Amino acid sequence: ISGYFGGTADKIITAITNVAMAVPGLPLTVLLVAYLEPGKWSLIISISITSWTGTLRILRSRIQQISEMPFIKIERTLGVSPLVILFKHILPNVKDIILTRGALAISSAMMTEASLSFLGLGSVTEKSWGGVLHYAFFRNSIMKNQVWWYLPPIVCICVAVLGFMLVGYYGQMKKV
């Protein structure tokens, strides 16, 4: 909406995005998780509230570029509905950005969830690699040299995050 229509909607959405980007993400996430009821939904809500700004700015910029292209101007001149232009022409041209940023957002959300669970703010009823690290840390597994407690979750987090980052990286490369 912001990138295609512009005007007042663009100014309002950009102002909200700028304010959201000025607030540090992890401390706000910690505050939200601590304020909300413990559980996986509080993690999902707090991570979602703090992680949308970068994707919005990239998509807005790309949609503004596409909106100024000749084929979009021709569609507007012919009287085609803005919804048809958005879904038939603009969305297919930004799907690579959406998929790439989605893969990168998943890896970022995984790191945030592991961090919050390690701090003891994650869901107590759900299994989590960060929760395992929290348990290992408070049971002095590092001092007791019990690597089976802290090494597997670290390796799993690294491999999973690396996998999603590689999907995001190779998803943006064009086929020749």
Does 176 score more than 60 pLDDT?
Answer: no
pLDDT of residue 38: 76
Question: Can you give the CATH number for the domain in which 37 is found?
Answer: 1.10.3720.10
pLDDT of residue 172: 59
Q: Which of 10-24, 43-57, 115-129 has the lowest mean pLDDT?
A: 115-129
Q: How many CB atoms lie within 10 A of CB 172?
A: 14
Number of compact structural domains in the chain: 1
Q: How far apart are CA 11 and CA 17, in angstroms?
A: 10
Does 135 score more than 70 pLDDT?
Answer: yes
With respect to residue 3, please indicate whether it lies within any of the assigned structural domains: no
The secondary structure of the chain, three-state, reads CHHHHCHHHHHHHHHHHHHHHHCCHHHHHHHHHHHCCCCHHHHHHHHHHHCCHHHHHHHHHHHHHHHCCHHHHHHHHCCCCHHHHHHHHHHHHHHHHHHHHHHHHHHHHHHHHHHHHHCCCCCCCCCCHHHHHHHHHHCCCCCCCCHHHHHHHHHHHHHHHHHHHHHHHHHCCCCC
Q: Which pTM value belongs to this model?
A: 0.76
Report the pLDDT averaged over residues 158-174.
78
Residue that has been written with the tokens 């012919």 in this structure: 78
With respect to residue 86, please indicate whether it lies within any of the assigned structural domains: yes
Does 159 score more than 90 pLDDT?
Answer: yes
Residue 113's domain comprises 8-174
With respect to residue 1, please indicate whether it lies within any of the assigned structural domains: no
pLDDT tens for each residue of 68-117: 999 999 998 999 998 999 899 999 989 888 888 888 888 888 898 888 88
With respect to residue 16, please indicate whether it lies within any of the assigned structural domains: yes
With respect to residue 99, please indicate whether it lies within any of the assigned structural domains: yes
With respect to residue 88, please indicate whether it lies within any of the assigned structural domains: yes
With respect to residue 2, please indicate whether it lies within any of the assigned structural domains: no
Percent of the chain with pLDDT over 70: 97
With respect to residue 92, please indicate whether it lies within any of the assigned structural domains: yes
Q: How far apart are CA 13 and CA 19, in angstroms?
A: 10
Can you read off the two tokens belonging to residue 74? 């021709």
